[in-house]
Amino acid sequence: MSSSSISSTELPQIAAPHLLSDLDLTTTELQEVLKLARKVKASPNHYASILKQRYIALVFEKASLRTRVTFEIAIKQLGGDSIYLDHRDGRIGEREPARDMARNLDRWVDAVVARTFEQSTLDDLARWSSVPVINALSGRYHPCQAIADFQTLEEYHGSLSGLKMAFIGDGNNVAHSLMLCAARLGVSLTIATPPGYEPASDISSMASDLAAQTEAIITLTHDPREAAENAVAVYTDIWTSMGWEAETQQRRIAFSDYKVTEELMSHAHPDAIFMHCLPASRGEEVTDNVIESSNSAVFDQAENRLHAQKALLLMLIGSRDKSAKK
């Protein structure tokens, strides 16, 4: 190991055995992940051998560009290796029970990164796995995306505490993760959805309770202009997530007033950035002019998926003894 390399004993550690939701990170751990992501981005070679001889399974029920590529590259750049298991033609649990899959994989690999339709599938894998299971997206949460998003917001606007952010569109998994992270980082977040498409009420309640501790404010509204007012970031996502394709036309009608346009952006702070987790349906939830504008941060968000996920891997896997099992 070179004198500039970081050893596993120097890394902060995540106390929870798995990362199934954003709340598996304490507030301190969330801040440490962001801090480590900055360091990894600035000095990637210092962490290049932490996952040496570690092997990680990527188990995906949903198609992916950013999540798959950034996890595979992150693992390899940290010295480890990965194997991709494609379950797009058959969900986890159909060919064999999730409990059996988990207890096979944990004999061979050091962690499982899973991208699933249902949160319960991730929970089942974790219940039976003796190695960490990481949520790479479920129908309820998208923690890896949210961490990269707040890394991006911090790069553009400095300290996160006291900032105001807007989310326009569906109260989906991305909205849930943004709420739970924003509340603990001191970022006020206003979410504007059509009636009937609000975030889950239990997550909204949890986020509001957490926000009270940081003086942030979590607000739900049906008015996108109210949400965007003086926000330093305006965020949207596709109107129809994977698994909801049967509702595509219905959602186009319901969300027609929730498109992020130049006019909507004019209500935000003059230095506001536009954010989107991608892929984008240009012309639906966002106009081409907005996503291609100089204020668009979408490709910075995509890049930061790599660095944020490296930080998660380092804190959840790299910081632990290779022989350790749950």
Supply the DSSP string of 257-301, one letter for each residue: T--B-HHHHTTS-TT-EEEE-S---BTTTB-HHHHTSTTB-HHHH
Condensed to tens digits (0 to 9), the pLDDT of residues 216-261 reads 999 999 999 999 999 999 999 999 987 788 999 999 999 999 999 9
Residue 109, φ and ψ in degrees, nearest 5: -120, 170
**Dihedral of the CA atoms 235, 75, 184, 199 (nearest 10)?**
50
DSSP-derived secondary structure letter, 231: -
Q: For this structure, is 305 an active site residue?
A: yes
Q: What is the pLDDT of residue 4?
A: 64
Q: How much is the average pLDDT of 42-55?
A: 97
Report how far residue 264's alpha carbon sits from residue 21's, in angstroms, rounded to the nearest whole number. 31
Q: How much is the average pLDDT of 42-64?
A: 96
Q: Is the pLDDT of residue 144 over 50?
A: yes
The answer to whether the 8-141+305-318 and 145-302 domains have the same CATH topology is yes
pTM of the model: 0.96
Q: Output the CA angle 198-264-141, nearest 5 degrees.
A: 30
Q: What is the pLDDT of residue 241?
A: 84
Report how far residue 185's alpha carbon sits from residue 207's, in angstroms, rounded to the nearest whole number. 11
Q: For this structure, is 237 an active site residue?
A: yes
The CATH homologous superfamily of the domain defined by 8-141+305-318 = Aspartate/ornithine carbamoyltransferase (3.40.50.1370)
Active-site residue, from 66, 157, 276, 277:
277
Domain ranges of the chain: 8-141+305-318, 145-302
pLDDT bin (cut points 50, 70, 90) of residue 9 is confident
Q: Judge contact between 22 and 136, C-beta under 8 A.
A: no
pLDDT bin (cut points 50, 70, 90) of residue 326 is low
Q: For this structure, is 157 an active site residue?
A: no
For residue 57, the cross-strand partners are 83, 112
Condensed to tens digits (0 to 9), the pLDDT of residues 91-117 reads 999 989 999 999 999 999 999 999 999
Q: For this structure, is 145 an active site residue?
A: yes
pLDDT bin (cut points 50, 70, 90) of residue 324 is low
**Cβ of 302: how many Cβ atoms within 10 Å?**
19
> In CATH, which of 3.30.565.10, 3.40.50.1370, 3.40.190.10, 3.40.50.300 is domain 145-302?
3.40.50.1370
Element housing 85 (H / E): strand 81-86
Active-site residue, from 144, 237, 276, 307:
237
Condensed to tens digits (0 to 9), the pLDDT of residues 296-305 reads 999 999 999 9
| Dihedral sign computed on CA atoms, order 69, 70, 71, 77 | positive
Which residue, 275, 321, 305, is CA-closest to 134?
305
Which residue, 241, 292, 287, is CA-closest to 264?
287
Q: Is the pLDDT of residue 322 over 80?
A: no
Q: Is the pLDDT of residue 31 over 60?
A: yes
Q: For this structure, is 181 an active site residue?
A: no
Q: What is the pLDDT of residue 65?
A: 96
Q: Judge contact between 30 and 184, C-beta under 8 A.
A: yes
Q: How much is the average pLDDT of 44-68?
A: 96
pLDDT bin (cut points 50, 70, 90) of residue 1 is very low
Q: Is the pLDDT of residue 3 over 70?
A: no
Condensed to tens digits (0 to 9), the pLDDT of residues 59-69 reads 999 999 999 99
Q: What is the pLDDT of residue 24?
A: 98
pLDDT bin (cut points 50, 70, 90) of residue 13 is very high
Active-site residue, from 87, 305, 307, 320:
305
Q: For this structure, is 277 an active site residue?
A: yes
| Dihedral sign computed on CA atoms, order 88, 252, 175, 290 | positive
Active-site residue, from 142, 276, 307, 320:
142
